[in-house]
Amino acid sequence: MKISELSERTGVSTHALRHYERLNMLRPGRRPSGYRDYPESAVRDVRFIVLGRDMGFSLKQLAEALPAYRAGRLTPQQGIEALNERIAAIDRQLAQLQALRSRLLGHVQRLQQQIHHGQPRRPAVAWPTPATRRKEPR
């Protein structure tokens, strides 16, 4: 099937499908005309990728799991273990965000106390605001 048909059947853009191909997650053949020719099994592979991305797995993690998935060697127990690992990672992220939130609230309270006690101080540097803040590289 052509890339446009695979896109239509899976709801994934042709741009994303080409990206998966560049990562060797999809391996279409070529028609004599040069068009990509995806096997029927590509629909299942793309659905696996989409589901995995929706659950927060990286493309690298999914690329590593795809061969076993294609071969039918992924067991329900392996799925449970992968999902539990993902849940644990989310729990760690939540704990880090909660700690950051607590620190921010502490700073807000200290600044409010300074204002309340008539001690407004000019900060040594300007506080970043959404309008002035530069985007930092991720």
Q: How far apart are CA 85 and CA 81, in angstroms?
A: 6
Can you give the pLDDT at residue 138?
46
pLDDT for 122 beyond 80: no
**Domain boundaries along the sequence of the chain:** 1-74, 75-119
Distance set, CA 111 to CA 90, 104, 117, 121 (Å): 31, 11, 10, 9
Q: How far apart are CA 45 and CA 36, in angstroms?
A: 16
pLDDT for 125 beyond 70: no
Mean pLDDT in residue range 79-91: 96
Mean pLDDT in residue range 16-30: 95
Can you give the pLDDT at residue 115?
83
What digits encode the pLDDT tens for the residues 47-84?
999 999 999 999 999 999 999 999 999 999 999 999 99
Tokens (6 digits) for 67 = 């061969």
Fold of domain 1-74: Multidrug-efflux Transporter Regulator; Chain: A; Domain 2 (1.10.1660)
Q: How far apart are CA 133 and CA 77, in angstroms?
A: 46
Predicted structure pTM score: 0.74
